[in-house]
């Protein structure tokens, strides 16, 4: 139960304001760009019926349309499964390639949304609407904006 309590506490407005990136942007009155990284369990998704997969795909399409009409959507994409991935590492000046992801994880990175939100709380509200949040994880990370060139 303590984990749930910490989670609820972390998603309050006070957390968003304590985040230096959000505080800076809020003071300037500018929205913040966030990457919403979507993680699923490919095995569980593969066990869904075709009808369930189409229903979830429809929910994604509706969310994308809503984000576009609300002015939050900047981009997004679904990734192919990890069996199509190739990992690249450079060690001792040599390029090493590994089929599939290098890291073994329970959940796999399956796609993303790039959004603009007024603050972290709005970004978290949007992330909670992503269908995969019900059975996977959505990681919300602010984008580092490049400093203006003078």
40 in any annotated domain: yes
* Cα dist from 127 to 11, 67, 123, whole Å: 12, 11, 6
150 in any annotated domain: no
Return the DSSP state at 10.
Answer: H
76 in any annotated domain: yes
Confidence (pLDDT) at 87: 87
14 in any annotated domain: yes
- Residue 114 in contact with residue 31, Cβ under 8 Å? no
118 in any annotated domain: yes
Instruction: Determine how β-strand 32-40 pairs with β-strand 108-117.
Output: antiparallel
Confidence (pLDDT) at 4: 41
- Residue 129 in contact with residue 63, Cβ under 8 Å? yes
28 in any annotated domain: yes
In the chain, the number of structural domains is 1
pTM above 0.85, yes or no: no
Domain that holds residue 7: 2-142
148 in any annotated domain: no
- The phi-psi region of residue 88 (left if phi > 0; otherwise alpha if psi is between -120 and 50; otherwise beta) is beta
Residue 119 DSSP SS3: coil
149 in any annotated domain: no
Confidence (pLDDT) at 51: 96
Confidence (pLDDT) at 83: 86
- Per-residue pLDDT in tens (0 to 9) along the chain, 150 residues: 333 433 444 444 444 445 555 555 555 678 999 999 999 998 888 899 999 999 999 999 999 999 999 999 999 999 998 888 888 999 999 999 988 766 667 788 999 999 999 999 999 999 999 999 999 999 999 999 887 787
HSE toward the beta carbon, residue 60, CA cutoff 13 A: 17
Nearby residues of 126 by Cβ (< 8 Å), 6 or more positions away: 36, 67, 72, 113, 115, 117
Residue 38 DSSP SS3: strand
Residue 33, domain CATH: 3.30.70.1060
Whole-number Å distance between alpha carbons of 85 and 115: 25
């Amino acid at each position: 139960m303590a984990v749930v309590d910490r989670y609820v506490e972390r998603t309050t407005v006070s957390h968003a304001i304590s985040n230096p990136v959000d505080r800076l942007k809020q003071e300037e009155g500018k929205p913040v760009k966030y990457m919403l990284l979507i993680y699923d369990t490919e095995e569980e998704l593969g066990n869904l019926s075709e009808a369930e997969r189409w229903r979830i795909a429809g929910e994604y399409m509706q969310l994308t349309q809503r984000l576009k009409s609300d002015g939050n959507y900047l981009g997004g994409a679904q990734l192919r499964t990890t069996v199509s991935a190739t990992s690249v590492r450079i060690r001792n000046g040599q390029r090493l390639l590994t089929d599939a992801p290098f890291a073994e994880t329970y959940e796999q990175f399956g796609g993303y949304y790039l959004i603009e939100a007024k603050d972290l709380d709005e970004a978290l509200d949007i992330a909670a609407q992503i269908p995969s949040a019900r059975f996977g994880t959505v990681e919300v990370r602010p984008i580092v904006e490049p400093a203006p060139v003078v």
